[in-house]
Amino acid sequence: MPLLDRISLGKAGEDCACRELERRGYAILARRYRSRFGEIDIIAREGETVVFVEVKARTSSRYGEPAEAVTLHKQTRVVAIAEDYLARHRLRQARCRFDVVAISFGARGQPVIEVFQDAFQAA
């Protein structure tokens, strides 16, 4: 898949994820938060919990299901970015969790969205 198509797919996936999270009552705090450790797709709040969300979107399952792409290496990077965010925003004592939103765009383009709450833990 060309790079531009991957970028467009990622943006469409993030847009769908934000709409779904807001529908479920999350408040979006940041999108594409960058630190020296990388980027996290969405930072949200659900009640008193700060939620760090990794979004994975696919147009087919040829390379596996979307959620399977959140590898241990990726989880480690997301945790480092989350720690940076919490420190910069003076939220070190805040309750937090890590969710994954997996989106499959089928042949008709209609997204199938799965939200995996508490998908992984900080080590």
41-63 confidence digits (pLDDT tens): 999 999 999 999 999 998 877 77
Q: What is the pLDDT of residues 13-35, one digit of tens each?
A: 999 999 999 999 999 999 999 99
Query: Domain residues of the chain, as ranges?
Result: 3-120
* The domain over range 3-120 is classified in CATH as 3.40.50.720: no
For the question of whether the overall pTM of this predicted structure is more than 0.85, the answer is: yes
Answer whether 82's CB lies under 8 Å from 91's CB.
no
Q: What is the DSSP string of 31-77?
A: EEEEETTEEEEEEEEETTEEEEEEEEEES-STT--GGGG--HHHHHH
Grade residue 3 by pLDDT with cuts at 50, 70 and 90. low
